[in-house]
Structure 1
Amino acid sequence: MSVNSIYNKKKIAFFSTQPYDKTFFNKYNDEFSYELDYFETQLNPQTVLLIENAAIVCVFVNDIVNEEVIRQLAEKNVKIIALRCAGFNNVDLEAAKKYNIKVCRVPAYSPQAVAEHAMAMILTLNRKTHKAYNRVREQNFALNGLLGFDLFGKTIGIIGTGNIGKAFAKIALGFGCKVLAYDIVENDEMIKDGVSFVGLNEVFKSSDIISMHCPLNDQTRHVINKDSIALMKENVMIINTSRGGLIDTACVIEGLKQGKIGYLGIDVYEQEEKLFFRDLSADIIQDDAIQRLMSFPNVLVTAHQAFFTNEALTQIALVTFNNIKSLLAQNDIENKAALLV
């Protein structure tokens, strides 16, 4: 079968597929007429064998798209790797260039979805609404142990001021917080809104709450570590809705044990590919680190849920389909932020 005939079929192989992926991609496929092939399994060197005559693979945050996988994709005449997410740390872009495979992503779907979830985690950890809910259901109306603090007037530090960090800053300012931010490029609009751009160490030293919104790369991996935690205020709150690898889990556990970290909210986790997006309620979880984290009363874990809104999933489906349409038609995408290779 020729490459052209594969392109004409417009077949997309989806990996790490959840029921909601099928719902939204099927819903918006009428105007595109792609052939959709769904696999619940993760893409990795073994499962790549499942692909049959597909010119495109669509992957998510925990799929493995390393050089070995990309080499096999090239052997199967796959021409496009479409990420249905913003992050791309799981894709070997140099290997994609080497094998002449285009890589695209969804650079912005609903920044508000993730930003709002970050604030929800802050409010939940602070005011302990999750604990209050369970108490009242058991007819326990006591307030002991539910003491929080006023968010108004507190200093929130933001690491990473892309679309999500910018949206989160607006929310924090709306609560009357002082907002500090760190990024390699300062955002003039945010400065006009009242955000102060400072050095990374200043964010660590001065913030009551630190919220992570930067991509994961060699420079940001384990940016929350023993040394950075030592700079932080006592009882600091750390929120991570970006990528699990930004946090050195062992160091954060030690910080929680010592009482240096007063609150931790994570929607992402370093080893989440073995846990998240599946029901393990009947299993014995072998990951001691996540079990230890969940044992702390001042830790809130959600399972990569921050993006999960109707608006975000709609945009993910539409942008992914349009990215593929543009690449098939003209080998390019108008929105340059969406094209990685």
Structure 2
Amino acid sequence: MKKVVLFWALILCVFSLLVGGEAFAKAEYEWSFTQPWSRPLSNKGYEFFCDKVKEYSGGRIEIKFYPDGLLGNHDESYHAVQEGSIAIGTFSPYVNLVPGGMLNWMPWTVENFDEARLAYSPAGGILFKVMEDAWEEVGFHVLFNVAQGPYGIANSKRPIRTPEDFKNLKLRVSSSLGFVRCLANMGEGTGMTLETIPWSELYNAMARKVVDGCWTMWPSLVDERHYEVAPYYTDLQFAWDAQNIVMNKKLWDSLPDDLKEAVSKAALEADEYLLQIQEAAQKDYIATLEKQEGFEIIRLTDEERQVFRDKARMSGIWEELCTPWLEKKYPGQNMTQVILDELDRIHEEVAAKKK
């Protein structure tokens, strides 16, 4: 009996060594994935993607994920992926980095997760297709997106219910020119001023009263503690948050077709997974904020939101910022109107399903 037990024990040991050796064999491709912000929920989606790439590539690709700016801030990480020392990163396509980047998130277009699923879908969404071309211009391949939901306005001075409530506020802005032009128009004539400050410095800037407020969203109010320094939040829903997960294009182009298929499959699943967890979490973020003493959420009616939208004068902003790049990229195709028509169609389709 002892000999039989010993025999099977030896067999199991040999099997374990064989399986273990195969499971932990060195991957053909070992990549780094940089995340320059502190966003715990999004990190779950990025880790999901890394795991799926390993699974679908049969272990031939292994990705090590670095969250919370461990490999550098936003612009440092961007340039590292661009030149190839890092394989993958999640970025905001600011126009000083990506000339066509303003199309990723023009205000008063996408308003909710259902619209985002269609407009940003890696499986042919209009904004995904345009941003794919924009990123390729600067040496990247787009994999998928992460959306944290709609933007509102947080500030430390007063509730904002009308454009007149922007009076004399100093608000932080970024290099997202569509956002900047939109906010400037909405606050025109109120004495509001705008100051460019890196997102990573935003909390301290509001805490020190360098600025009175900023555009922000439910996750950042909680995870990045904006609610502590800006206790009035107007749920304006004037723009949609979307960062792009991209990789070095030369690296992408060098992959065999079967590995491109594996990465693309993982990316499509990660895109939907992130939408699901972000949408589910939004209710929790709101519930958390509603419990914070001294924090006020200002919810607007459709009619009140329309006043801000009208004052934004978005058609002129599209003509100024988007049309020149689109005409150069897609000559003679009238892409500004093509995009706007498709976004209108998506809005109507989603609205009809909710009736």
> Given the two structures, how large is their TM-score scaled by the length of structure 1?
0.31
Q: Which one has the bigger helix percentage? A: 2
RCO comparison, higher one (Cα < 8 Å, 6+): 2
